[in-house]
Structure 1
Amino acid sequence: MIKIGLVEDNSQLGQDIRDKLALGKELTIIWEERDGSLALKAMELGDLPDVILMDISMPGIDGIETTRLAKEKYPNLKILMLTVMDDEKKLFEALKAGASGYLLKEIKPHLLINAIDDVLEGGLPLSPSLASMALNYLKEKPKTQELISHGMEKLSKRELEVLIWLKKGMSVRQIGEQLFISDKTVRKHLEHIYEKLQVHSGREAIVKSTVQKNLSTSSD
């Protein structure tokens, strides 16, 4: 059973999300909080979910700051942002804070459930419109290069193939099926990718490789 934490200040929107998740037989919501401070307290009490669905605009501590604070204490925690705003700046801030994905609340139930599975497999689900905005935003921020160490050139051909499929939202099992290798081999390639890119998760590898690719493209 996949444990879900829900952070949503609007009770009606919270119920809408609950209704969508009810279609997932392997999902259970272990707590629902109305603001970031209460969510952080719930985590401190030991109620640590597998995935947190996080609102952005909330009174007190907003979702991005809550994500940053939670990831500092629980670096392996998966946090999926759910918002009504298609704001590329907020998207990039959320990813820098440690978010594992960014989706609009209008997302269809089956796509939300699939996104949760993707997050647990190390993917980075983004709403289509937001994915496009992310690329445009990164192209407009050349100073970001100062924050990125090199590493893409160190990846082998097979590691690049694994990374490409990971960026397409494939799970470990799906990558193995595409490349005709075992799940164990896929995980080993991912370990090498994380080490060479100096990151700690699939989300960070995707963000870093996307930033490097687009900075390189914009400088040509």
Structure 2
Amino acid sequence: MIKIGIVEDNAQLAKDIQDKLALGEDMTVLWEEKDGATALKALDKGEIPDVILMDITMPVMDGIEATRLAKEKYPNLKILMLTVMDDEKKLFEALKAGASGYLLKEVKPHLLINAIDDVLEGGLPLSPSLASMALNYLKSKPKVQENLPPEMEKLSKREQEVLQWLKKGMSVRQIGEQLFISDKTVRKHLEHIYEKLQVHSGREAIVKGGL
């Protein structure tokens, strides 16, 4: 049996999800929680489902933060966002947090069941309206070099990402939007980059980093 965890604060929507899952022959709901914080507590008790169906907008702790924290502690956990939010920014935030897929709650039962199977096989199921957004995002994301120059190895992975975006001509604001961090955080990363590479500008950092 495929064990499912449901994180949904709306009782009627949670019941609708259970009704859809009931049409699958090999699925059982291990637990149902009303917010991200209680879902994390369920995980910490050792109640680890095969797939979590995670809402985004919830009290106490939203689904994206819960996904990020859950993936830090349980990196192999599969989390499928199930939301009413047909929103590009939320999609990218969820993927960066470690979500294994993103579906709208209006999804038909057989498509939800197929998506769960897809997630377990390593796929990334997305609602059709969001698939092209994700594809464009993945195409535009700069690739981190596998064999990094010695100077680049001094930088953290996030600092490498910031420098990659800087090379593409992005401003501080644009880098923050791509990485879903504040302008202040981007500037702090740049300060660390300049300090580690012993340079005084973005152009010098790009050259010294061998980009």
Q: Confirm or deny a common fold (TM above 0.5).
A: yes
Which of these residues, 144, 152, 159, is aligned with residue 149 of structure 1? Answer: 144
1:149 is displaced (CA, Å) by: 1.2
Deviations 1:114-166 (A, max 9, x none): 00000000000001101122234556xx6x42xx3136xxxxxxxxxxxxxxx
Question: Which residue pairs with 1:12 in the alignment?
Answer: 12
User: How high is the sequence identity, in percent, across the aligned residues?
Assistant: 79
Question: Which residue pairs with 1:45 in the alignment?
Answer: 45
Distance across 1 between alignment mates of 2:119 and 2:128: 16
Letter in 1 for 2:31: W
Q: Are the aligned partners of 1:53 and 1:80 in contact in 2 as well (CA < 8 Å)? A: yes
Runs of 4+ in 1 over 4 A off after TM superposition: 136-139
Q: 5+ unaligned residues in a row in structure 2: which ranges?
A: 147-167, 169-211
Letter in 2 for 1:108: K
2:115 paired with 1:120: no
Letter in 2 for 1:118: D
Distance across 2 between alignment mates of 1:69 and 1:108: 29
Deviations 1:74-114 (A, max 9, x none): 00000000010110110011000000000000000000000
Letter in 2 for 1:123: G
1:60 is displaced (CA, Å) by: 1.4
Q: Are the aligned partners of 1:79 and 1:99 in contact in 2 as well (CA < 8 Å)? A: yes
Q: 5+ unaligned residues in a row in structure 1: which ranges?
A: 152-214, 216-220
Question: Which residue pairs with 1:56 in the alignment?
Answer: 56
Q: Are the aligned partners of 1:88 and 1:137 in contact in 2 as well (CA < 8 Å)? A: no
Distance across 2 between alignment mates of 1:121 and 1:138: 20
Question: Which residue pairs with 1:204 in the alignment?
Answer: none
2:25 paired with 1:30: no
SS of 1:3's partner is strand
Distance across 1 between alignment mates of 2:90 and 2:103: 12
Q: TM-score by structure 1 length?
A: 0.64
Distance across 1 between alignment mates of 2:135 and 2:52: 25
Distance across 1 between alignment mates of 2:87 and 2:137: 10
Distance across 2 between alignment mates of 1:149 and 1:62: 30
Distance across 2 between alignment mates of 1:51 and 1:135: 23
Q: TM-score by structure 2 length?
A: 0.67
SS of 1:131's partner is helix
1:31 is displaced (CA, Å) by: 0.3
Distance across 2 between alignment mates of 1:128 and 1:25: 25
Q: Which has the higher helix share?
A: 1
1:18 is displaced (CA, Å) by: 0.4
Letter in 1 for 2:145: H
Q: Which structure is larger by alpha-carbon Rg, 1 or 2?
A: 2
Tell me how many residue pairs correspond in the alignment: 147
SS of 1:86's partner is coil
